[in-house]
Chain A
Amino acid sequence: MQVSVSVSVSVSEENAEQEPAAQQVSAFLERRREQIAQRWADAALFRTVFTVSRDEAVEAGRAVAAALAAVAASGRLDDIRASGFEAVRDQLGRMAASRARTGIDPDGVAREVAALREPAAELLRAEFEDPNGPEALECVVALTVLMGTLRLVVMETAVSASEELIARQREQLHEVATPVIKLWESTVAVPLIGTLDSARSQVVMESLLDAIVAERARYAILDITGVPTVDSLVAQHLMKTVAAARLMGAECIVSGIRPAIAQTIVHLGIDLGTVLTRGSLADALAYALSRQGVGIGPVAPAGTAPAADAGVR
């Protein structure tokens, strides 16, 4: 067992004639690991996470108790970076996350972790001849500090897990929300959805320009049906994208301008005169097709009408 020098010195100065409380707690956690795990398996936190079998809960309880024993042995009772916690961090994070998923809020999780203290403290007190003697109290205090640290580790693990999740989802949003769709030969479209901030519009422009090259597109449609607010910055981004597409030799059509957006753009004073616009994506596609000499119409039943009526051109 590794003993942190600074802590063990200060503790042993106070209890020169006896084993430091942290070491006693560590020894107790090792000795009574099985009983503690059994009791914890019945606590709300373990019981509700490991619903499949109680053995699983007991196993998890053993792992947590072993981790706590290792932390106590190192004397770093109040250090959430103590190496012993690393072993259970992943498991604790999963437990906290699973409780969060079932709709329990962070202080609910904190309460459930806090509830693990009493069963262990009870066992600890029973170890002493005088459960209220100074030695017993000192060990219970040490255990309480340790359990408080465990609570912090659980919360911290849960928070950093959700931060990671948010960062990942933000990245995904940038990627996912800007698919470039090939609608027809040399016609591509980007359905824009959500907020078009500078970062998003940069992604849109890049993927659109790439698609124009890859698909040898002559027509590019930017559909803004899913953009809730078109302010001057969004308009500027749109105009820049249109200008860039034009430089690549593609004609850009902005579609999906709703009546409320149209009125707002006019009041705002944005001049979209240089941008080709259409009310709906269908209109924009029809325009692009007609410019390519492709017409769409009902197919005449065979033998009743000449092919010229099929609507081509």
Chain B
Amino acid sequence: MRAARHAAPATLPIGSDADLAWVRQQVRQAAAELGFGLVQQTKLVTAASELARNTLVHGGGGQVRITPLDTGQSQGLRLDFVDSGPGIRDLEQAMTDGYTSGGGLGLGLSGAKRLVHEFEVDSRPGEGTTVTVTAWATPVSPSRPGPP
């Protein structure tokens, strides 16, 4: 029953605070199944929590699609947060640490970006916003020097 979900994408609604808790739990579980370490799990779940709250508060609700990735060498998890809210007018400003339009700390977008490996925002004013983040269980670090 659960095993079938392992490699399959799942879509969860984001419409209330209770949904946020459910998203966090499902992301944590998916990350754990893919072999994410505790720190990686915590980072991704925290990023998911920030972005899901953005979807709820600024986008007026929406959904998240959780997609497990497998490149053969590494396992990853992609999360697409989709809303059809007002969109982000000034993306550069929205990505600035400390800028907030909702009374928060202003770390949602910028902080989430620092917690994942890949980060992409696609926002059209009046149509909605899609934020896509990807994290890998064993990050490929090209800068790592080889053995001497």
Residues of A within 8 A of B (CB): 195, 197-199, 228-233, 235-236, 259-261, 263-264, 267-270
19 CB-based A-B contacts, threshold 8 Å: A197-B21, A229-B49, A230-B46, A231-B46, A231-B50, A232-B50, A232-B107, A236-B104, A260-B38, A260-B39, A260-B42, A260-B43, A263-B39, A263-B43, A264-B43, A264-B115, A267-B43, A267-B114, A270-B107
In the complex the two chains form, is B108's CB within 8 Å of A232's CB? yes
Look across to chain A and name the residue whose beta carbon is closest to the beta carbon of B39: A260
Contact of A228 among B24, B50, B97 (CB under 8 A): B24
Question: Residues of B contacting A232 with CB < 8 Å?
Answer: 50, 104-105, 107-108, 111
CA separation between A232 and B110, bound complex, in Å? 11
- Distance of B16 from chain A, by nearest CB (Å): 10
Instruction: Write the chain B residue with the least CB distance to A259.
Output: B39
Q: How far is the CB of A208 from chain B (nearest CB, A)?
A: 21
CB of B104 within 8 A of CB of A264, answer no
CA distance A235 to B104 in the complex (A): 10
Interface residues on B, range: 20 to 34
Q: Which residue of B lies closest to A194 (CB)?
A: B21
Contact status of A264 and B46, CB under 8 A, knowing A198-B17, A259-B39? yes
Q: Across the two chains, which residue of chain B brings its CB closest to A267?
A: B114
Q: Does B131 contact A (CB under 8 A)?
A: no
Query: Closest 5 interchain pairs by CB?
Result: A268-B111, A260-B42, A231-B49, A232-B107, A232-B105
Chain A residue numbers with a CB within 8 Å of B46 are 229-231, 264, 268
A3 to B5, CA, bound (A): 55
B133 at the A interface (CB under 8 A): no
Give A261 to B39 CA distance when docked, in angstroms: 8
The verdict on A269 contacting B110 (CB below 8 Å), with A197-B17, A231-B46 known, is: yes
Query: Do A268 and B114 touch (CB < 8 A)?
Result: yes
In contact, A267 and B111 (Cβ under 8 angstroms): yes
Asked if B78 is at the interface of the complex by the 8 Å CB criterion, the answer is no
Verify B28–A269 contact, CB threshold 8 A: no
What 0/1 readout, one digit per residue, does chain B (100-126) give for beta carbons within 8 Å of chain A? Answer: 000011011011101100000000000
Cβ B24 vs Cβ A229 within 8 A: yes
A268: chain B residues within 8 A (beta carbon): 46, 50, 107, 111-112, 114-115
Other than the known A229-B45, A264-B115, what 19 A-B pairs have Cβ atoms closer than 8 Å?
A197-B20, A197-B21, A229-B42, A231-B46, A232-B104, A232-B107, A235-B105, A236-B104, A236-B105, A259-B39, A260-B41, A260-B42, A264-B42, A264-B46, A267-B43, A267-B115, A268-B50, A268-B112, A270-B111
Given that A231-B53, A261-B42, A263-B39 are contacting pairs, would A269 and B21 also be in contact in the complex, using a CB cutoff of 8 Å?
no
Chain B, 17-45, CB within 8 A of any chain A CB: 17, 20-21, 24, 28, 38-39, 41-43, 45
